[in-house]
Amino acid sequence: MLGALALAGNDALRGACESTVNFGGETAAALVILGYEPGLASLGLSRILGLSQVIGLSHAGTVRLVDKLVAQGLVERERDSDDQRAVCLTLSPAGRAARAEILQARRQVFDALLSSLSETEQQTLEGLLDKMLSRWTQSVEPAVRICRLCDTEGCENCPVERSDHPRNAAAPNAAH
């Protein structure tokens, strides 16, 4: 049953995100990731290589995706202030608006998913999910990949971000 629920939730989330931005694939994840402020910049996520690792596309595929987002006016390329050879990716105002719509669609999917549970059941589920996610996020890479569509402002006491998490003890400056 857990597998079926995971697939149903993933399908609903992907469908809601894709209909919001009118693009398939990892477009929504790219927009959400590029909007993370400011901690993930230190992980290189504002560059093509870092973004490609998190969204699971090849370098060439990520370049094509970014080109499409730039052409749509959702993403801007800027020179890195620390390394003029490097290019950083940032969301344009339209990109920030699209990101907000994606996160709203995400909230609606999860509200619908959780609506059949009582408040007590939701709290119990949250505790179980916390325990399970903590186990899967022992290093930065899987944590960031898992959180590629997260609403960091709406995720209170995130097990991936929490300071007492073993991953954070190893890399105290790595933020979700």
Tens digits of residue pLDDT in 103-113:
999 999 999 99
Query: Is 132 a member of any domain?
Result: yes
How much is the average pLDDT of 90-117? Answer: 93
The span from the CA of 139 to the CA of 141, in Å, is 6
Q: Is residue 176 part of a domain?
A: no
- Domain limits for position 74: 2-168
Kindly state whether residue 21 falls inside one of the protein's structural domains.
yes
Assess whether pLDDT exceeds 50 at residue 171: no
CB 159 within 8 A of CB 165: yes
The Cβ of residue 7 has, within 10 Å, a number of other Cβ atoms equal to 10
Kindly list the distances between the CA atom of residue 43 and the CA atoms of 47, 49, 143, 166, in Å, as whole numbers in the listed order: 9, 10, 12, 18
* pLDDT, position 173: 39
Task: Give the separation between CA 117 and CA 22, rounded to whole angstroms.
Answer: 31
Tell whether 137 is covered by a domain.
yes
What would the pLDDT profile of 21-76 be if each residue is shown by its tens digit? 887 788 999 999 898 865 455 566 678 888 888 888 999 999 999 999 999 999 99
Is residue 175 in a domain? no
Answer yes or no: is 159 within a domain: yes
Identify whether 173 is part of a domain: no
Q: What is the Cα–Cα distance from 101 to 108, expressed in whole angstroms?
A: 11
Residue 61 inside a domain? The answer is: yes
CA-only gyration radius of the chain, Å: 17
Q: Which amino acid is at 42?
A: S
Assign residue 92 the CATH number of its domain: 1.10.10.10
Rounded to whole angstroms, the Cα distance separating 57 from 26 reads 8
pLDDT in tens, 119-153: 999 999 988 988 888 777 666 666 677 777 777 77
> Would you say residue 99 has pLDDT above 50?
yes
Domains contained in the chain, number: 1
